[in-house]
Amino acid sequence: MTRVGIINVTGYAGSELARILHNHPDVDLVSVTGRSAAGKQLSEVYPHLREASMTITPEIEESVDLVFSALPHAASAEVLKSFIDDGVPAVDISADFRLKDLPTYESWYKVDHPCPNYIETAVYGVPELHRSEIKQTKLVANPGCFPTGTVLALAPAVQAGIVESHVISDCKSGVSGAGRSAKLEYGFSELNDNFSAYALSGHRHEPEMSQELSALSSDGDVNVTFVPHLAPMTRGILGTHYAKLSKDVSQADVDAIYRDFYADEPFAHVVPTPPSTKQTWGSNDCLIYATIKEDAGTLVAVSALDNLGKGAASAGVQNMNVMLGFEETAGLEALPVYP
Amino acid sequence: MTRVGIINVTGYAGSELARILHNHPDVDLVSVTGRSAAGKQLSEVYPHLREASMTITPEIEESVDLVFSALPHAASAEVLKSFIDDGVPAVDISADFRLKDLPTYESWYKVDHPCPNYIETAVYGVPELHRSEIKQTKLVANPGCFPTGTVLALAPAVQAGIVESHVISDCKSGVSGAGRSAKLEYGFSELNDNFSAYALSGHRHEPEMSQELSALSSDGDVNVTFVPHLAPMTRGILGTHYAKLSKDVSQADVDAIYRDFYADEPFAHVVPTPPSTKQTWGSNDCLIYATIKEDAGTLVAVSALDNLGKGAASAGVQNMNVMLGFEETAGLEALPVYP
Amino acid sequence: MTRVGIINVTGYAGSELARILHNHPDVDLVSVTGRSAAGKQLSEVYPHLREASMTITPEIEESVDLVFSALPHAASAEVLKSFIDDGVPAVDISADFRLKDLPTYESWYKVDHPCPNYIETAVYGVPELHRSEIKQTKLVANPGCFPTGTVLALAPAVQAGIVESHVISDCKSGVSGAGRSAKLEYGFSELNDNFSAYALSGHRHEPEMSQELSALSSDGDVNVTFVPHLAPMTRGILGTHYAKLSKDVSQADVDAIYRDFYADEPFAHVVPTPPSTKQTWGSNDCLIYATIKEDAGTLVAVSALDNLGKGAASAGVQNMNVMLGFEETAGLEALPVYP
Amino acid sequence: MTRVGIINVTGYAGSELARILHNHPDVDLVSVTGRSAAGKQLSEVYPHLREASMTITPEIEESVDLVFSALPHAASAEVLKSFIDDGVPAVDISADFRLKDLPTYESWYKVDHPCPNYIETAVYGVPELHRSEIKQTKLVANPGCFPTGTVLALAPAVQAGIVESHVISDCKSGVSGAGRSAKLEYGFSELNDNFSAYALSGHRHEPEMSQELSALSSDGDVNVTFVPHLAPMTRGILGTHYAKLSKDVSQADVDAIYRDFYADEPFAHVVPTPPSTKQTWGSNDCLIYATIKEDAGTLVAVSALDNLGKGAASAGVQNMNVMLGFEETAGLEALPVYP
């Protein structure tokens, strides 16, 4: 069994990793860390993890064969550095190694990068786009929750060259995307039965979207207008994406482009009816639906995923599976929980 | 006191009309109708209306000075016809008199219009755009819940000629917009903690949006790509609207255009921070926020309203107030209920 | 117009007071206070109060004819002291003047009472029980949200002497009852789609319940086993109360006892079917339903109210109306908002 | 692999069975039935079951080694009859074989029992109480969702003889307990942010509770006053149970009684802090917490479970595991999904 650790297990992404890894057939979760919760049992912080409980320590205490970091950006690279130096494979849930352009990273995150030299070796963790590179790297930058859905929704169209280079990403997220934090603005009474747009002046996930879609485009950079929204639900991201068609394509053409692009994918599914977020609850699925508005010459592509699943933790497990040569679906077989 | 009746009080728009009219200083609610509930007390169907209770009858039983119809389309025009013939002022909450172009109505609603001759005299009930016409008509077509927010969000920009003629309206609605209906798809277990897009092949509110925005444009028709979404909340519509800028305008220009457009409006408010739907709960407010994405040359305009308030019932009361020469805010003074 | 102030307008009870008082026909809200928000506009903290906005100050800045305090316990009595000394009528939303027994207060709240000499003059603010005393006092102790529903549900039975002296109060509250606080445990992701009991070792509202029910009993003290629960909703308390019947009474007897007890009450209503919390949303109503389980010789009495309405702010306004001789329903006419 | 079928897969309990059985290591799901959905793919009705999809047929089409029925009562016994006659082991999710007393069944369910001769051979499917009998039967009556939590919460105390024979069960259920039905009363807009008690004149789960608790009592029958409530959440039942202590026991005594009773149970857990329903989401766990209110001489016992899990489908799988001699936890290892 492969020995695995989770740095910062106490956030929602960290706890979701612990939940999934507990039943993974190829790994043993041997060490979990947390700062304020150090010394506590995992089940004290998360009673649902009773069966997976272990002592939370300040640092990874066992030697591990792979490490996940669910720390915030900057803190994550700082802690991962020594693991990477030691050749321990790492999956970084944070944003630290996602952006290939250092100035872009530093201007959006307003920090100096703790180990910029590793940016180049990191692979952006969307197996649907970078599977072969993930197999060969020791450092995967797990993508942001919003970019995962946006990139998967638009990648087939951008690669096929059927849309113009300005796209709109209107994403609606459940509140768990904001993390496990004691902030008034994420209080139940503030958010229940309420809906709003935020980050209208720009969101850090925008450059990730542009980077990945631009890399697929043969027509130059893709500019993304991204507006995230907060929906009164716990999990789930629904992204609705709009792009002007640059070619005269039919719905049948679009269907074929999308179907072919994801033909062999275990988790990215082109679906026959508009998906809803709850169809992915607790799973690693990303559901994609693309349609043409003919009168407007516009592609509308919708994606649905669980922000803590394919948007964070289970995507990390999928990346680990690819890196370590496990069955790609190992530990990720549980079907979504509905209703 | 003006004597008022509500046709089909048993839906959510009808019951909301009854709630508001109960405390209106200038009117008496004298007759309410309902089919399946005929013979019941209003408080049996809606216990919260205990204080406003009266017997539900199959037809309007008292002579009335103004009538609201909250019937579905086609049925509404059919029943309103005799009131209009008799010169009784009417506010139609249904879609029957919204679209000025008969073939457009008949192709979207797939019915023959019961009284097409009244289409021309009907005024589209957005007082912010058509106040003077509403004052002079006896038939107001209350707008759809989605068009209200979309038209108010984009009207200043379209009239000012600063955006191109293709706009995107990405709207998120609470479930009460689907009406009071016993359908599995609107069941709590199906929708709670769930989010989806619908009507991707086209929604009946799209031609309303185009009609009203085109009328404001000096550059020809405005084409609207409209995608509605269902959010796990009871009330509220948040609309996020995207339009390419056609002129080189600054944020300050946009601020001035919006501020001036709604300067004297009692219910349409340009707000300094992105609004949330719950800020309008139970009220007639529509909150509007417009910003420029400079790198993409795109205007993003957000609007928030209560779909049963400014999106239906309270908008109907505002229209009545304008028609009958009451204070425009009469009966609509209660502040939104939050949290 | 009577000049009124609100101390600590920034919590949910305070903001709800501001919302209601804004449309009260007999009062002007002239001063509102808040600590961390001092200097801000009320509309910055609560955008839904745009129409009622005014500057939040650290202290009451205008001379007032009546003051509401929505401060936490101890802090409230401390600040109210000078108003009471000056003869300014006060409605205290906090717990400071509810309990007539000083040691009980000090043991449950674990503080020294800042002005114990005023406890005796304070009247417990349930007009349905203490209307004549409220008319004659200058200090009303607004009851706790849970005790209001429990006392109103059981008062008729206790006064009629038909139940034994041990009663069970199983209450389910919306999250706004926890106040406007930045605590992880009240976060949306923690509470949504979740339900739990709390305070199983005892809750501060228990002695209030016992005090008020005991005062109605001719058989000695009433012991209350009170278990509060947190429900995934914003507003509302549903209380289910169980008491062994001590006499052989029929359902018809119970119906008569309850109907007579609340016969002339404007806000406490005995209803013909089990009430739901949302039937009281935003209003001052308390709905009561009592039934007998014959095989168990047990009375089950259910009450529903809005914890921020009859459970806090609107109850305070009702108390003010009684104190100052206004129409008891003044400012409280708006019907509940549903759905 | 054991071949298993599900009769009426289209309800929530049926679909949850399909979800769990898809990953069960010892069984193959070979046939699923449904009436109105016959001919459809399972994934058309439940998109989240894409990976488990198969054609829904009107009758079980393959020979099966065990059958689950998730039909409504009466219909279930009718269809199961031939399987039982043929010696096929069956788990009946319906109420048909739960009550040992035929007149009790017929008076509560108001039907003639389709095959009363099998009542005696059926075992009430709470493995924590009837494991050895379940091992030896071919017909398990899966318990009702409410009785599971109530019986597990009170069984230790009743068996230990520390409580009087009248107990109160105040249960709060998520809406999925009402099934997958197109009824207005279960609509999102009706139930969201709303809370109510129902079935105040009696609920069919009451006699199950009495039957099972009475069987554990050495002091005669246990009378249960049961009041169910509908909470605005999808899954979960929290039961709060009250019983007068009949002996002078300490909290330590109670702790020991409960700890010992469930010492070796894989799914019934005595927990150190009051549980919340979401800690069991999607799992077969039942969490139990018991405490004494000393001043009232009352035991308060709280239980939390997932009504579709331990309250229905996963309990059925646990029962199958026991019947067929599989590992009792087989297929039930997935941890609860939180948040």
Model pLDDT, residue A219 = 87
Report chain D residues whose CB lies below 8 A from the CB of A191: none
* Residue D79 CA from chain centroid, whole number: 20
Task: List residues of B whose CB lies inside 8 A of any A CB.
Answer: 166, 168, 170, 172, 174, 189-190, 192-198, 200-201, 223, 225, 227, 229, 231-236, 238, 240, 242, 274-278, 281, 289, 291, 293, 295-296, 298, 300, 302, 304, 339
Q: Which residues of D310-333 are buried (b: 16+ CB within 10 A; e: fewer)?
A: bbbbbbbbbbbbbbbebebebbbb
Q: What is the pLDDT of residues C6-22, one digit of tens each?
A: 999 999 999 999 999 99
Contact A176 C189 (CB under 8 A): yes
> B318 CA to chain D: closest CA distance, Å?
25
Contact D227 C234 (CB under 8 A): no
- Where residue C126 falls among pLDDT bands split at 50, 70, 90? very high
Taking alpha carbons only, the member of D190, A241, A194, C48 closest to residue B237 is A194
Model pLDDT, residue C219 = 87
Q: Mean pLDDT for chain D?
A: 98
Neighbours of chain D (3+ CB pairs under 8 A): A, B, C
pTM, 2 dp? 0.98
User: 3-state SS string over D91-156?
Assistant: EECCCCCCCCCHHHHHHHHCCCCCCHHHCCCCEECCHHHHHHHHHHCCEEECCCHHHHHHHHHHHH
pLDDT at D30 over 90: yes
CA angle A270–A271–A275, rounded 5-degree value: 115
Residues B32/B38/B40/B42 CA torsion (nearest 10 deg): -30
Size of interface B-C (CB pairs under 8 A): 74
- d(CA A67, CA A88) in angstroms, rounded, equals 7
- Which positions ≥6 away from C59 have C-beta within 8 Å? C33
pLDDT below 70 — which residues of chain B? none
- Mean predicted confidence (pLDDT) in D323-329: 98
Contact C200 D233 (CB under 8 A): no
Model pLDDT, residue B173 = 98
Taking alpha carbons only, the member of A83, A155, A96 closest to residue A122 is A96
| CATH assignment of B2-142+312-324, among 3.20.20.70, 3.40.50.720, 3.30.1330.90, 3.40.50.300 | 3.40.50.720
Q: What is the pLDDT of residues B134-179, one digit of tens each?
A: 999 999 999 999 999 999 999 999 999 999 999 999 999 999 999 9
> C235 CA to chain B: closest CA distance, Å?
8
Model pLDDT, residue C68 = 98
- Token pair 């027509």 is at which residue? A219
Q: What is the pLDDT of residues D103-128, one digit of tens each?
A: 999 999 999 999 999 999 999 999 99
Model pLDDT, residue D263 = 98
- Where residue A107 falls among pLDDT bands split at 50, 70, 90? very high
List alpha helices for chain D, DSSP H. 12-22, 42-45, 75-85, 102-109, 127-136, 145-160, 188-191, 205-216, 251-261, 313-324
- Token pair 């950006």 is at which residue? A73
Above 0.90 for ipTM, yes or no?
Answer: yes
Report chain B residues whose CB lies below 8 A from the CB of A150: none
Domain boundaries D146-305, CATH class: alpha beta
- Where residue D298 falls among pLDDT bands split at 50, 70, 90? very high
Q: Mean pLDDT for chain A?
A: 98
Q: What is the pLDDT of residues C42-55, one digit of tens each?
A: 999 999 999 999 99
DSSP for residue C35: S
- Mean predicted confidence (pLDDT) in C59-85: 97
- Mean predicted confidence (pLDDT) in C118-129: 97
Q: Domain coordinates of chain C in residue numbers?
A: 2-142+312-324, 146-305
Model pLDDT, residue B219 = 87
pLDDT at D219 over 90: no
C286-293, strands of its sheet edge to edge: C196-197, C223-230, C163-173, C237-245, C298-305, C286-293, C268-270
pLDDT at D198 over 90: yes
CA angle A59–A64–A69, rounded 5-degree value: 55
- Mean predicted confidence (pLDDT) in C94-112: 98
Neighbours of chain C (3+ CB pairs under 8 A): A, B, D
Query: Within 10 A of D338 (CB to CB), how many other CB atoms are there?
Result: 27
Q: What percent of chain A has pLDDT over 70?
A: 100
Model pLDDT, residue C46 = 98
Cβ(A49)–Cβ(A15) under 8 Å?
Answer: yes
pLDDT at A298 over 90: yes
Residue B145 among the catalytic residues: yes
